[in-house]
Copies of this chain bind each other. A is one copy, B any other.
Amino acid sequence: MPRNVLISGGCGFVGSHLVDRLLRRDDLQKLVVVDNLWTGSRDNIAHVADPRLSLRIADAESFAADERFDEILHLASPASPVWYMREPARTIRANIGGALNLLSLLRPGGRFCFASTSEVYGDPMVSPQPESYRGAVDCTGPRSSYDESKRCTEALLFEEQRVSGLDVRVVRLFNTYGPRTRIDDGRAVSNFVSQALTTGVLTVYGDGSQSRSWGYVDDIVDGLERFFWRDGIEHKGPLNLGNNREISVVDIAKFVCSLVPGSRIEHYPPVPQDPTNRCPDLTLAKRLLPGWEATTGYEEGILRTFEWFRRQIAGGGKSAATS
C-alpha cells in the first residue's frame, strides 16, 4: 500500500541518512521533509533528485498541513550540547512541541517513530544500560533541556500508546558519528577530525577517560530502518541502538592524531555533568532485529569520516551530497 511519510529533521545528520533509506522503499509514495535548518543543512539532501521528496522549511512544532501521514518520523532536535545548551527553550519546543503538533498530522492507525537518546540515562550507575534502567538525569542541570525533553517526549508517546493504542517506535540512540555531521557540531569525533585537519590541536575536556560507545552512522541508520518500518514488531517499549564497544574519548583523539602527522592533544577543564560512561545493552536489539549489528569499528568509521571532512574543508562545504 502506498505510504505518505513525514520526517522532521530530515536535513540533519541522522535524518538525511534516513531520507536516503526511505527513498529506497517501493511503497513510499511521498516524503515530506520538515526542517527549520537550525542545525540541519539543505546540502545534506541536495543530492536527492527523487520527485517524491519535498522540503518544507518550518518548525516541527508549528508545521501545518491539510493532509495526514501514514508514518511520521520525528528527529527534529539539535543533538550536540554546544547547540542545545545555547537555546534550551527552543530545544524543548522542537522535541515536545514537535511531537504534540506532528501527532495531529498522523492519520488514525498511523505509526509515529521518535529518535530518543542514551541521554535519558544521564550519568548512568549501571553499565551497560538496558532499556529498563530509569536513568540518573539531573532535571535542573545544564544538559537538562535535551535530556528531559527527550524523556518527556517518550512519556507522551508511550502514554498515547496506553490511552489510544498509538503505534509507537522509540529508539534511544547512543553516540553516533559520520559524514554529514556539521563541522561546528561540537562533539568529540567531528571536533577532533576538523581540528586535526585545521589547527592540528585536538581539545580533550578533562582527562579524556570518559568512555562512549561510538556508532558509525551507517550501522545506526541500518538499525533504525529495520525497527521503524517493519510491521509486526510486538515490542512496545523503547529500543537501544548503538555500538557497544566502549572506547575512551582520549583514545579516539589519539587515533585521529595518528592520521595527521604533527597534530597533538591539549587538555581543557571538564564539561559540567559530562557523563563518565555510556554503553548500550543490545540484548533487545539483537532479539528484535535479527542480523543487525554495529559492525563498523571506530578506526574504519573515523577514517571514512575523516575523508568526508577533508573533502568538505577542501571544497568549502560543497561535497555533502556525495556521501
> Which residues of A are in contact with B by a Cβ distance under 8 Å?
85-89, 92-93, 96-97, 100, 103, 120, 122, 134-142, 144-145, 147-149, 151-152, 154-156, 158-160, 162-163, 170, 237-238
Whether the Cβ atoms of A142 and B160 lie closer than 8 Å is no
Residues of B within 8 A of A148 (CB): 148, 151-152, 154-155
Residues of B within 8 A of A159 (CB): 88-89, 142, 144-145
A135, chain B: closest CB distance, angstroms = 7
Main secondary structure, interface of A, reads helix
Copies of this chain present: 2
A24, chain B: closest CB distance, angstroms = 31
Q: Which of B85, B140, B154 contacts A139 (CB 8 A)?
A: B154
Residues of B within 8 A of A145 (CB): 155-156, 159
Q: Which of B140, B155, B156, B162 contacts A154 (CB 8 A)?
A: B140
Residues of B within 8 A of A170 (CB): 140
Residues of B within 8 A of A136 (CB): 134
The complex places the Cα of A24 from the Cα of B309 at a distance, in Å, of 64
